[in-house]
Amino acid sequence: MAETLYPHGGGIIKNTLASLMLKKSEIGTIKDINMDLVNSRVSPASGLVVGDENEFYNDSFVFQGSDDKGNLFMTRLGFRSDGTICDSWLWMRLNKKKYTSPTVIVENVHPEKIEAAKLCYTPLDKGCWNITYNGPLDNGIKKCVVNLNYKPTTKMYSFNVHADRKTYALALAEMPWSREYFKTLKSEKAERIEQGGIISGTVEMDGVVHNLTLKAFRDHSWGKRDWTMIRRYIWNLFAMEKPVKIKDGEFTHACFTTVNYISFNHLVSGWVAGPDLILPIIASSDMHKLGGDGKAPSEFNVTFRPKGGPDLKAEVIRENETEHPWMMQNNSFEVNEAYCSLSINGVKGYGMSEFGYTRK
């Protein structure tokens, strides 16, 4: 018996109405990625937040990379409020040991530069970036010097360009509708781009140099992000050791996300991509069977379906002993990240598995 994948929608009439409503939205209707916003800060004054809601404004830059030896690098600069406040951090798993920078919230940051607390992202030509850090780490490292370069190797995913409207219509049709529900739904407005690549360079800790070459992802999201709207989510970044063949070509990277919002019970998004391929993910196995007790599992299996492709089965081992948890929005929401190894349809890979939980 075939596994039931989500979202599966409501009845025929409700599914049709949801599809008609989404025809007026931006999801899956914008044809080109706005490259002016991809590599730069996006001001709250851009109009991407509905109403006076700077409290929930987000302009977040993330770089992540991993390798088959169990090493992982992840870093984030998250600009919020009116753009003058920034969450700045990095964490690494090197030789199966965790290293983290001090948790820092910086005020009065530069309105255009992508930097805070000695962490800096500098855009280069052809979608490349330089990532630097020069400062202490929490666990006794007095001086850590990071000098890494990110180079894209896959096509770029844009939520508003590539997301599948039918998937969102089915998720919408699963929900109970009311005037208040649609008011809440209308207030949510954001954009996200993601891309697979390679991160390479050096990390020096108290004079000891680590040379890294990591299969990587970059992420830039901007717009409204109210963490209290999210009950829980799962975000998986999978980099494959070799290309995985599917109907429309081959992919080397997969970003697979499932979210339980106040406005959507089981929203599926993400993509698979290679140098010549980008496909949105349109369905997945039931997210509520994974970590529903508030604890991220150390092993789990998931099935997800790219648009036009076959079902892909991922067997994931999450290295929970060096996981990295952190809190958002006045400690109301926990994000928990860990290195993972995996296999998709027999092809091995590695990456990061992130679980998020409301802790209100």
- For the stretch 42-68, what's the b/e string if a residue is b when 16 or more beta carbons lie within 10 angstroms of its beta carbon? bbbeeebbeeeebebbbbbbbbbbbbe
Does residue 300 carry a pLDDT above 70? yes
Contacts of 334 (CB under 8 A, 6+ apart): 325, 326, 327, 328, 356, 357, 359
Q: Which residues pair with 106 in a beta bridge?
A: 86
Strands (E), the chain: 57-66, 72-80, 85-94, 97-100, 104-107, 115-116, 119-123, 129-135, 144-158, 190-205, 208-224, 230-246, 249-261, 267-274, 277-284, 299-306, 312-318, 324-328, 333-344, 347-358
Q: Are 225 and 190 in contact (CB under 8 A)?
A: yes
pLDDT in tens, 157-210: 999 899 999 999 999 999 999 999 888 887 777 889 999 999 999 999 999 999
Ramachandran angles phi, psi of 263, nearest 5°? -95, -15
In three-state secondary structure terms, 321 is helix
pTM as predicted: 0.95
> Where does 12-358 sit in CATH, by number?
2.40.370.10
Token pair for 281: 């993910």
pLDDT in tens, 24-62: 777 767 788 989 899 999 988 776 654 445 678 889 999
* Confidence at residue 53, expressed as pLDDT on a 0 to 100 scale: 57
Overall average pLDDT of the 326-355 stretch: 94
Quick one: 5 exposed, middle or buried, by C-beta within 10 A (0-12, 13-18, 19+)?
Answer: middle
- Per-domain residue ranges of the chain: 12-358
Counting residues of the chain whose pLDDT is more than 90, the rounded percentage is: 75
